[in-house]
């Protein structure tokens, strides 16, 4: 991986991490188009540049994370409860998840099917009752956490799964989207921390890898800041339908390319 490939992957991560289009799926396809070998550092890079996206959420919603009061304690507990299912499932099925990450076919199918779902989501949950995350109890937070586990299949989208889960639990669309952003912080921090700990010798052995990781996180942070604001505004105006159409088009394009014999894996 060279510096320009690292920047491109980071831009894709920053753009798609908080959109309901699957950042993992887009990075799988982008890596294939760039003809990146799926060596250990490439896999590490695609996980660890999520740190930049995490920081974008913390900076944009700094009062939620850094201003301490009684409501914050409840907020932190809800995040801990919501992240538990993903931590458990991720630990139990880590090898199977890693195998799926190398399959453009899985990405194409899940992007297509998820796009069809997004066309109808706005019509399914039309009577929300929770307008602030403070009104959500621990059981609702836990149920949203189980929805997040579905996103371990590449192409599903963690953002889409948790937002739909939030709406199913009677959160308004905007509150569900914001809680999805908040939940990303402990989820991705845990995944990134585990990956870094597991691969620390790989990073220490090559300082160039550390430089690429630093550049990637800076780029992902800047792009994610823009993407989050864009997504919230688009969600308010158009709902999920526009993202459903996007997923369907991209999913079909991937499946057609595979059907025509184009090599989308390396």
Query: What is the percent of the chain with per-residue pLDDT over 70, rounded to a whole number?
Result: 91
> Alpha-carbon distance 148 to 161, whole Å?
6
Which of 163, 191, 137, 124 has its CA nearest to residue 18? 163
Q: Are 145 and 82 in contact (CB under 8 A)?
A: yes
Question: Phi/psi class of residue 98: alpha, beta or left (left: φ > 0; alpha: ψ in -120 to 50)?
Answer: alpha
> Alpha-carbon distance 177 to 63, whole Å?
17
Contacts 24+ apart (CB under 8 A), 258-264: 258/104, 258/105, 258/108, 263/32, 264/29, 264/32, 264/33, 264/104
> Alpha-carbon distance 175 to 187, whole Å?
18
Q: Are 41 and 209 in contact (CB under 8 A)?
A: yes
Task: Kindly report which listed range (59-63, 141-145, 167-171, 248-252) carries the lowest average pLDDT score.
Answer: 59-63
pLDDT tier at 11 (50, 70, 90 boundaries)?
A: very high
Q: What is the pLDDT of residues 217-243, one digit of tens each?
A: 999 999 998 888 888 777 777 778 888
Which of 145, 147, 183 has its CA nearest to residue 64? 183
Q: What is the pLDDT of residues 99-137, one digit of tens each?
A: 656 677 888 888 899 899 888 888 888 787 887 878 888
Strand partners, 130: 171
* pLDDT mean over 177-203: 79
pLDDT at 159 over 70: yes
Q: Are 260 and 106 in contact (CB under 8 A)?
A: no
pTM of the model: 0.80
Q: Are 37 and 266 in contact (CB under 8 A)?
A: yes
> Alpha-carbon distance 218 to 44, whole Å?
16
Q: What is the pLDDT of residues 15-35, one digit of tens each?
A: 888 888 888 778 877 887 887
Which of 124, 151, 159, 116 has its CA nearest to residue 245? 116
Task: Kindly report which listed range (2-6, 41-45, 53-57, 96-100) carries the lowest average pLDDT score.
Answer: 96-100
Q: Spell out the SS3 assignment of 27-44.
A: HHHHHHHCCCCCCHHHHH
């Amino acid at each position: 991986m060279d510096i320009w490939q690292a920047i491109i992957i980071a831009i894709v991560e920053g753009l798609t991490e908080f959109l309901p289009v699957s950042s993992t799926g887009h990075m799988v396809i982008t890596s294939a188009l760039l003809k990146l070998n799926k060596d250990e550092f490439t896999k590490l890079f695609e996980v660890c540049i999520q740190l930049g996206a995490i920081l974008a959420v913390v900076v944009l919603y700094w009062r939620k994370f850094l201003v301490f009061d009684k409501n914050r304690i409840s907020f932190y507990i809800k995040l801990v409860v919501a992240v538990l299912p993903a931590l458990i499932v991720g630990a139990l099925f880590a090898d199977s998840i890693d195998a799926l990450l190398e399959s453009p076919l899985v990405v194409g199918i899940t992007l297509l099917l998820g796009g069809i779902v997004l066309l109808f989501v706005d019509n399914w949950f039309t009577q929300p009752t929770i307008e602030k995350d403070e009104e959500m109890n621990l059981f609702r937070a836990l149920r949203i956490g189980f929805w997040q586990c579905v996103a371990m299949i590449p192409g599903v989208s963690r953002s889409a799964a948790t937002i739909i889960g939030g709406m199913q639990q009677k959160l308004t669309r905007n509150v569900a989207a914001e809680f999805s952003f908040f939940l990303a912080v402990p989820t991705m921090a845990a995944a990134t921390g585990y990956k870094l700990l597991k691969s620390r010798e790989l990073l220490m052995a090559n300082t160039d890898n550390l430089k690429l990781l630093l550049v990637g996180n800076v780029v992902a942070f800047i792009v994610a800041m823009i993407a989050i604001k864009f997504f919230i505004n688009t969600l308010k105006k158009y709902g999920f339908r526009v993202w459903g159409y996007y997923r369907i088009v991209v999913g079909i394009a991937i499946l057609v390319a595979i059907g025509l014999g184009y090599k989308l894996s390396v």
